[in-house]
Chain A
Amino acid sequence: MNKILLKRTLAPQVSLIEVDAPDIAKKALAGQFVVLRIDQNGERIPLTIADSNPSKGTITIVFQKIGASTRLLDRLNQGDSILDLLGPLGHPAHIENMGTVVCIGGGVGIAEIYPVAKAYKNAGNRVISVLGARNKDLIIFADEISRVSDECHITTDDGSLGKKGLVSDVLKEIMGKEKVSLVSAVGPTIMMKVISDLTKPYNIKTYVSLNPIMLDATGMCGVCRVTVGGKVKFACVDGPEFDGHEVDFAELMSRQKLYIDEEKRSVERHCSDENPNCRCKG
């Protein structure tokens, strides 16, 4: 059991929890993730470690309420405990001093790019961050990311904060202005695909952190398999970070839709207002 020591709402559908996990906090590196299970009937859900504090013994997780499990997770409050917490999992992000690194976060991926940006900064890079979301409410972690960036750009689909448009538009501008050594992107799969397509002709190394469906997340089941450079890789143990120019994004996007119907049924069963079994209500 791991206690939630702090909980904050970052945006209408996005929450942050700080969880007591001393052993994980000591080991966690940028780009790694945990798997958690809320209760005995729960799924194993993979979530990126957004921050870790070894001296306090805590890790920070930011999640968006998308499916039934994340909605149930959001029912937990400060002082409540998470039944199972496994980590750190996956390879850390490749961090080295490359020169100028552009770190791109889309939606809840903004919180996930934060530790990566911080690590690139600490490694001596010039860090340019680009944060994008649908609207201003969904721009999270902007202060934290600004602190570890030399430049920080914000874009929103509706123009309610920063520039109206997409993160790829801003990346294009930056590439026009200065030499970019490396791009690291976390966010919706389609965003990571667009970014990778954009940098490929210029041969700018581009890392993406993939989020396929996972089950055990320790290399046992293979549901997270992705094709990278023509080879089958398990994102949980071989990734989650891969070379964006090598990833078969079409296959990944198809595989991410595997359980769309079941997700809906699960939300209806566990989280709908009309359902007496709903566990989202108090």
Chain B
Amino acid sequence: MRNKPRLRDPKERAGDFNEVSMGYSPEQAKEEASRCIQCKNPQCVKGCPVNINIPAFIKLIAEGDPAAALDKIKEKNNLPAVCGRVCPQEDQCEKMCILGRKGEPIAIGYLERYASDYGNKNSQSRNTKQSSLDKKVAVVGAGPAGLTCAADLAKDGFSVTLFESLHGPGGVLSYGIPEFRLPKKIVNDEVEYIRSLGVDIRYNMMIGGIFTVKELFAQGYKAIFLGSGAGLPKFMGIPGENLNGVYSANEFLTRVNLMKAYRFPEFMTPVRIGKKVAVVGGGNVAMDSARSALRLGAEKVCIVYRRSKEEMPARIEEAENALEEGIEFRLLTSPTKIIGDEKGWVRSMECIKMELGEKDESGRRKFIPLKGSEYVMEIDTVIMAIGQSPNPLIGNSCSELKREKWGGVIADPETGQTSIPGVFAGGDIVTGAATVISAMGAGKKAAEAIRKHLG
């Protein structure tokens, strides 16, 4: 039987921002690792976007050596403590696990997390190669894609400068994913490790503004990786979205996570959360927003999602955590307008009920509004968590960079090569909002392609 991780009590945890899951104890980790049958042809590795040697690191945990396990993971993955927490393992490595066919797959994610949390002190993983200045590479964006690409290139002896527009590292790991799911200390420790590899991180540098792609080449960078993510928030385009009390999830989460508004006024950025909060959307960002709203003291928080539970893009684990904490789910429901008071503040939201029809081209069932089913719910805060588009700033400053109509940078899926020689791209800026690990996979492939490109 698969070992269950230790979770804090829902009532207790919903009152603070401390981490919800406490992971495995050393005994649990050893026991879980011992369940692995060490396949000769491990399928799990094929499910991992960065090809971690999963059976090898699990064996080291079973032998009681988390530090060696961590070193094994770090051969392929530069952010193991992050991935152990936020990767959708159930759709990747664990989905392929042979034990999952008849019973429950090995908890690879929790074991990765255990190796990182318990092995970090004794890890030997340090860079020994000297960077050579004639091979300068610029990486744009210190999120999962950029950090991965920069770390891999530094390990190979390139001199890497990582440009970040915000004042701290991590990208979505810092501004998007809340403390209770991914403590910022974990992110900072991983970034310290990447800096120890020789990566020079320069904050408050928005490429496209301070320097253009052309100017970076003129400064002597031989290749450029663009990993600036999907930061542009989407709104629905319904009446009332500019009322006071309507947030994009990006704004709400940035205030809470990056700016630490949950500790206002000690931290000076405020956030205002009402009594009744509606979060629109069904992805992980919606879950993060809803659970953060609850922790900020909202009396009632509900998720409004236009399809059913089966179609919800959020991880099952996160939706279950939200439900346990008391978040209400209004499924098959979509807002039609937001209604305000005379002072411009949100008072209520009109919604319409949906039913599901045939599957569309993406394989999800289409939603069809039920005529006449409109109703009004009393709320005072709305958080729009319906997705983000690629940040357009770099593309706008560089007309040669070809982009899709919806804004994504066009790049070869295997190499990240864009329409400009020497410029590579990967992560959400190419795919639109996706997962941390897929961005890391793209960063890794691009690092390999840059290595070849610079010979």
Interface residues of A (CB under 8 A from B): 23-24, 27, 37, 41-44, 68-69, 83-89, 215-216, 218-223, 225, 227, 232, 237, 251, 254-255, 257-259, 262-263, 265-266, 268-270
Contacts and interface: CB of A to CB of B under 8 A. Distances in A.
Interface in B264-279: 264-270, 272
A37 B167 contact: yes
Given A218-B165, A219-B391, A219-B392, A225 B242 contact: yes
Contacts of A41: 260, 266-268
Nearest to A90: B209
Nearest to B228: A218
Contact of B393 (A218, A223, A257): A218
Interface residues on B, range: 35 or more
A251 B239 CA distance: 13
B204 A222 contact: no
Contact of B248 (A44, A68, A221, A237): A221
Given A220-B232, A255-B244, A215 B265 contact: no
Contact of B269 (A43, A86, A258): A43
A282 B346 CA distance: 42
B210 A216 contact: no
Given A41-B268, A222-B235, 17 more contacts: A23-B211, A37-B167, A43-B259, A43-B268, A84-B204, A88-B210, A215-B255, A216-B165, A219-B391, A220-B391, A221-B251, A222-B250, A223-B247, A227-B242, A237-B393, A263-B270, A269-B265
B431 interface: no
Nearest to B245: A258
Given A215-B254, A218-B391, A221-B233, A270 B265 contact: yes
Nearest to B211: A23
Nearest to A68: B268
A121 to B, nearest CB: 25
Contacts of A88: 209-210
Contact of B167 (A86, A268, A269): A86
6 contacts: A41-B267, A86-B165, A86-B204, A220-B175, A222-B251, A270-B265
A84 to B, nearest CB: 4
Interface of B: 165-167, 175, 203-206, 209-211, 231-233, 235, 241-242, 244, 247-248, 250-251, 254-255, 259-260, 264-270, 272, 343-344, 391-393
A84 B203 contact: yes
Question: Which residue among A221, A265, A268, A269 has the maximum number of chain B CB atoms within 10 Å of its CB?
Answer: A221
Nearest to B268: A43
Contacts of A24: 210
Nearest to A86: B204
B242 A255 contact: yes
The 8 A-B pairs with the shortest beta carbon distances in the complex, nearest first, are A262-B270, A254-B344, A221-B251, A269-B265, A220-B231, A86-B204, A84-B167, A222-B248
A68 B265 CA distance: 10
Contacts of A237: 392-393
Nearest to B248: A222
A216 B343 CA distance: 26
Contacts of A232: 235, 241-242
Given A215-B255, A220-B232, A69 B268 contact: yes
A220 B166 CA distance: 11
A89 B206 CA distance: 9
Nearest to B234: A222
Given A24-B210, A37-B167, A88-B209, A262 B264 contact: yes
Contacts of A221: 233, 248, 250-251, 254
Contacts of A259: 270, 272
B209 A42 contact: no
A237 B250 CA distance: 16
Pick from A42, A262, A263 the residue with the most CB of B within 10 Å: A262
A112 to B, nearest CB: 19
B186 to A, nearest CB: 19
A83 B204 CA distance: 10
A65 to B, nearest CB: 15
Contacts of A269: 265-266
B272 A262 contact: yes
Contact of A44 (B167, B272, B344): B167
B382 to A, nearest CB: 13
A258 B272 contact: yes
B15 to A, nearest CB: 21
Nearest to B267: A41
Nearest to A34: B204
A87 B203 CA distance: 11
A41 B267 CA distance: 5
A190 to B, nearest CB: 16
B268 A223 contact: no
A216 B242 contact: no
Contacts of B233: 220-222
A27 B267 CA distance: 31
A86 B392 CA distance: 18
A266 B268 contact: yes
A83 B166 CA distance: 12
Contacts of A69: 268
A160 to B, nearest CB: 35
B196 to A, nearest CB: 22
A258 B316 CA distance: 35
Nearest to B252: A221
A254 B244 contact: yes
B234 to A, nearest CB: 9
A258 B250 CA distance: 17
A82 to B, nearest CB: 10
A221 B391 CA distance: 11
Contacts of A89: 206, 209
Contacts of A218: 165-166, 206, 231, 391, 393
